[in-house]
């Protein structure tokens, strides 16, 4: 598929905006995927190209959080391993299974995340006492959310951030940074499946990736500087828009 210079310019700006939003609160796919579909990419190729450009953004954001000491990779290895395994299983299962039930369930679960965060006004403002051991948490949620991201995907970042806040007691900045690391792992697995299936438009994906890297760096930097007071309302807004988008897609 040949893309004009105007289309490539649109894709770069889209990647920039998506990377900025995704680095702070997730949901960059809400911006990127509709643009790819609007430019005429088939759905499977749009999804694969979205994973390509998104992987660059999550890597850029994760590296920024790690370099500032807000994410300790030594404490994430177990989660990364379980997330990888879960994503592989999800990517395999989706090949022969209907995701219809999941599509209807996810907006409901996201509503729980939204209202819990909304009414727990101190959630994420500072670190709190963990409600679950770190190894058990990463084993359960790594497998579960890794599987979900490999199987379906939308809202994964919101679920990770919410779980890290509630069960590990991280502050908002640490939760968002750790989410980016876990998202990167599951994104790579899903991307590999799309590449094997020939469902990536490299020209579009790499142009968007350039924008993603810049946007993700700027977004993560802003999140680091402003902290929970800034991230919390941004996070709630993105979760709400994700819910609206999924309801529209499922029932509109």
Nearest-angstrom CA–CA distance, 243 and 239: 6
Tokens 């359960």, residue located: 140
Residue 202: pLDDT band with limits 50, 70, 90: very high
Nearest-angstrom CA–CA distance, 18 and 28: 4
Report the pLDDT value the prediction gives residue 185, as an integer from 0 to 100: 96
Nearest-angstrom CA–CA distance, 155 and 145: 10
**Mean pLDDT throughout 175-203?**
93
Residue 39: pLDDT band with limits 50, 70, 90: very high
Q: Is the model's pLDDT at 212 over the cut of 70?
A: yes
Residue 145: pLDDT band with limits 50, 70, 90: very high
Please state the pTM of the whole predicted model.
0.88
Report the pLDDT value the prediction gives residue 97, as an integer from 0 to 100: 64
Q: What is the mean pLDDT of the chain?
A: 90
Residue 104: pLDDT band with limits 50, 70, 90: confident
Nearest-angstrom CA–CA distance, 29 and 51: 9
Q: Is the model's pLDDT at 103 over the cut of 80?
A: no
Report the pLDDT value the prediction gives residue 136, as an integer from 0 to 100: 96
Q: Is the model's pLDDT at 98 over the cut of 70?
A: no
pLDDT tens-digit map of 58-90: 999 999 999 999 998 888 999 999 999 999 998
Q: Is the model's pLDDT at 101 over the cut of 80?
A: no
Angle at 242 between CA 239 and CA 244, to 5 degrees: 115
Report the pLDDT value the prediction gives residue 99, as an integer from 0 to 100: 61
Residue 16: pLDDT band with limits 50, 70, 90: very high
Tokens 């499922």, residue located: 250
Report the pLDDT value the prediction gives residue 95, as an integer from 0 to 100: 64
Q: Is the model's pLDDT at 55 over the cut of 70?
A: yes
């Amino acid at each position: 598929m040949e893309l004009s210079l105007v289309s490539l310019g649109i894709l770069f700006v889209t990647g920039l905006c998506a990377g900025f939003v995704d680095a702070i609160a997730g949901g960059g796919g809400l911006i990127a995927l509709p643009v790819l579909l609007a430019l005429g990419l088939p759905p499977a190729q749009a999804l694969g190209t979205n994973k390509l450009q998104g992987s660059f953004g999550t890597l850029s954001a994760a590296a920024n959080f790690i370099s500032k000491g807000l994410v300790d990779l030594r404490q994430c290895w177990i989660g990364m391993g379980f997330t990888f395994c879960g994503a592989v299983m999800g990517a395999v299962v989706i090949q022969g299974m209907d995701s219809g039930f999941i599509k209807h369930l996810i907006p409901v679960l996201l509503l729980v995340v939204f209202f819990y965060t909304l009414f727990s006004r101190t959630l994420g403002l500072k670190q709190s006492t963990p409600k679950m051991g770190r190894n058990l948490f990463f084993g359960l949620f790594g497998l579960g959310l890794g599987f979900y991201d490999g199987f379906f995907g939308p809202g994964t970042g919101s679920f990770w951030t919410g779980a890290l806040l509630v069960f590990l007691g991280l502050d908002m900045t640490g939760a968002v940074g750790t989410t980016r690391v876990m998202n990167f792992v599951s994104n790579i697995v899903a991307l590999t499946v799309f590449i094997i299936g020939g469902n990536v438009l490299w020209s579009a994906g790499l142009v968007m990736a350039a924008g993603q890297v810049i946007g993700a760096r700027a977004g993560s930097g802003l999140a680091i500087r402003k902290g929970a007071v800034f991230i919390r309302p941004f996070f709630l807004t993105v979760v709400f828009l994700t819910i609206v988008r999924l309801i529209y897609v499922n029932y509109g």
